[in-house]
C-alpha cells in the first residue's frame, strides 16, 4: 500500500494546512464527476483514505509510529505488559485480534391465523416473509465484485490500537478497537453497490410451513435457520410463528374437545329422532333419545381435535337445547290440549334444587 504522504505529495513534516491544501487539489483533479476514468477513481479513493488518516492528529501519530507496533517497545515494558503476559493469554501487548464482520442474523416473529378446522389435522401453508437475504452480487463479502477488503494500516490488521498510559504502577499498555476500521482489521475501500457493503439485502421470500394438529392461540412454532441472514453473510437467525386460531360461529374448543349446541324441537325431544349434521371433519350422526332434556350433553367419541402431544383425538360434546314453540296454530293448540288431557300433567311445583340448572351450558361441558 502506498505511503499516505506520498499519495498526497507532501513531506512527512507537512502541516495540517498543507495536507488539507494538497488533498483539495488532488480531489478536484480525481473526483469521478470530473475524471470518470477507472484509474482516477482508484487514486481518488487512495488519497481520500490518506487524508482521513493524516488529518486526524491521533491517527497520524499512530501512523508515523508504525501503527500498533510503534508504541512501547522493549524499553517501555512495564507492569501492564507483565499483566498481559500472565493473564492475557499471550505475550506482552497481544490482543484478541480483529473481530469478524460476520454475525448471526436476528430472529424473526410472524403471526399467522388458522381456522379451527386447520387445528384438527394440521395444515401446510405458504407464507410471505420480508427478511434479509444474502447479497447475490458480493455473496456476503461486502466488497464490490473484483475487489476485496484491504488491511488497515493504522492497526496493521490487528483491529486494536494500543496506548501506553503512565500510572503509579509504571507504564501500562491499554487496548481499544481501532477507530479507522472499527475493530475489523481491514477496510472495504470499494463496497458493494447492491447491498451498500452490508453483505445482505431486504427481500421477499415464500416459505412453506407445516402447522401441526392441535395448535392453540398463543403457541409459538420455532423454525431454526429461517430468520434473517447475518451481516457479511453470517448464519441465519430463527423464525418464530405465533398462532392465532380464528373464531368459529358454531364450534368452540376446550383442550382437545370440540363443543357445540344442538337445538331440538320439543316434539323431537319427546319422541326422539336421528339427524345428520355437518361437522368440521364431515357428516355427524346425532341420535336424540326419547325424553331428552334440555341441558343434556351428548358425547361423540374421537371427533374432536387431534392432540398436539400425539394422544389421539378429543371428543365432540353436544349440548342439547330443547326449543319450546312460542306460537302455535289452532290445530297445534288442539293437539296439545288433547295430549295434556291424556297425560294428566302435574301442576308446576317445587322440586329438589339443581345447581347445574343455573349454570351456563358451556360450564356444564367442563
Detail the residues annotated as belonging to a binding site for Zn(2+): 135, 138, 152, 155, 178, 181, 192, 195
Binding residues: 135, 138, 152, 155, 178, 181, 192, 195
Phi–psi pair at 275, nearest 5 degrees? -135, 150
CA distances from 77 to 7, 19, 86 (A): 34, 34, 14
- Which sign, positive or negative, has the C-alpha torsion 347, 350, 354, 357? positive
Tell me the C-alpha distance between 117 and 305, whole Å: 9
Cα(158)–Cα(181) distance, rounded to whole angstroms?
A: 10
DSSP 3-state assignment of 60? helix
| Angle made by CA atoms 236, 202, 141, in degrees to the nearest 5 | 65
- Residue pair 190/120 in contact (Cβ under 8 Å)? The answer is no
Nearest Cα to Cα of residue 136 among 207, 229, 238, 223: 229
Taking a C-beta distance cutoff of 8 angstroms, is the pair 117, 280 a contact? Answer: yes
Neighbouring C-beta atoms of residue 42, cutoff 10 Å: 14
Please compute Rg for the chain using Cα positions.
40
- Phi and psi dihedrals of 143, rounded to 5? -100, 150
Question: Which are the contacts of 138, defined by CB distance < 8 A and separation ≥ 6?
Answer: 144, 145, 192, 194, 195, 199
- Whole-angstrom Cα distance, residue 228 to residue 132? 5
Q: How many CA within 13 A on the CB side of residue 212? A: 12
The whole-angstrom separation of Cα 69 and Cα 156 is 8
The residue among 108, 131, 137 whose CA lies nearest residue 196 is 137
Cα 111 to Cα 334: distance, rounded to the nearest angstrom? 60
Amino acid at each position: 500500500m502506498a505511503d499516505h504522504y506520498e499519495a498526497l505529495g507532501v513531506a512527512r513534516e507537512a502541516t495540517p494546512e498543507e495536507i488539507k491544501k494538497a488533498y483539495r487539489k488532488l480531489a478536484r483533479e480525481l473526483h469521478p464527476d470530473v475524471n470518470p476514468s477507472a484509474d482516477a477513481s482508484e487514486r481518488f479513493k487512495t488519497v481520500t483514505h490518506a487524508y482521513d488518516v493524516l488529518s486526524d492528529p491521533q491517527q497520524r501519530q499512530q501512523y508515523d509510529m508504525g501503527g500498533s507496533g510503534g508504541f512501547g517497545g522493549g524499553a517501555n515494558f512495564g507492569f501492564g505488559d507483565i499483566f498481559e503476559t500472565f493473564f492475557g493469554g499471550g505475550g506482552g501487548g497481544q490482543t484478541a485480534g480483529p473481530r469478524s464482520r460476520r454475525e448471526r442474523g436476528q430472529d424473526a416473529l410472524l403471526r399467522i391465523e388458522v381456522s379451527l378446522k386447520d387445528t384438527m389435522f394440521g395444515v401446510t401453508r405458504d407464507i410471505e416473509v420480508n427478511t434479509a437475504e444474502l447479497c447475490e452480487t458480493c455473496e456476503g463479502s461486502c466488497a464490490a465484485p473484483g475487489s476485496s477488503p484491504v488491511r488497515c494500516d493504522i492497526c496493521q490488521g490487528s483491529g486494536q490500537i494500543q496506548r501506553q498510559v503512565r500510572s503509579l504502577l509504571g507504564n501500562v499498555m491499554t487496548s481499544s478497537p481501532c477507530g479507522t476500521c472499527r475493530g475489523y482489521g481491514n477496510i472495504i475501500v470499494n463496497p458493494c453497490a447492491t447491498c451498500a457493503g452490508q453483505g445482505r439485502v431486504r427481500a421477499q421470500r415464500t416459505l412453506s410451513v407445516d402447522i401441526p394438529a392441535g395448535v392453540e392461540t398463543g403457541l409459538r412454532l420455532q423454525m431454526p435457520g429461517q430468520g434473517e441472514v447475518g451481516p457479511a453473510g453470517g448464519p441465519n437467525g430463527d423464525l418464530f410463528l405465533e398462532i392465532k386460531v380464528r373464531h368459529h360461529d358454531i364450534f368452540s374448543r376446550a383442550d382437545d374437545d370440540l363443543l357445540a349446541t344442538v337445538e331440538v324441537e320439543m316434539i323431537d325431544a319427546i319422541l326422539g329422532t336421528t339427524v345428520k349434521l355437518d361437522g368440521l371433519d364431515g357428516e355427524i350422526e346425532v341420535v336424540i333419545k326419547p325424553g331428552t332434556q334440555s341441558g343434556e350433553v351428548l358425547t361423540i367419541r374421537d371427533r374432536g381435535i387431534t392432540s398436539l402431544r400425539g394422544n389421539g383425538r378429543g371428543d365432540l360434546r353436544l349440548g342439547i337445547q330443547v326449543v319450546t314453540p312460542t306460537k302455535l296454530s289452532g290445530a297445534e293448540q288442539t293437539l296439545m290440549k288433547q295430549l295434556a288431557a291424556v297425560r294428566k300433567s302435574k301442576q308446576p311445583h317445587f322440586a329438589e334444587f339443581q345447581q347445574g340448572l343455573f349454570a351456563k351450558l358451556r360450564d356444564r361441558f367442563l
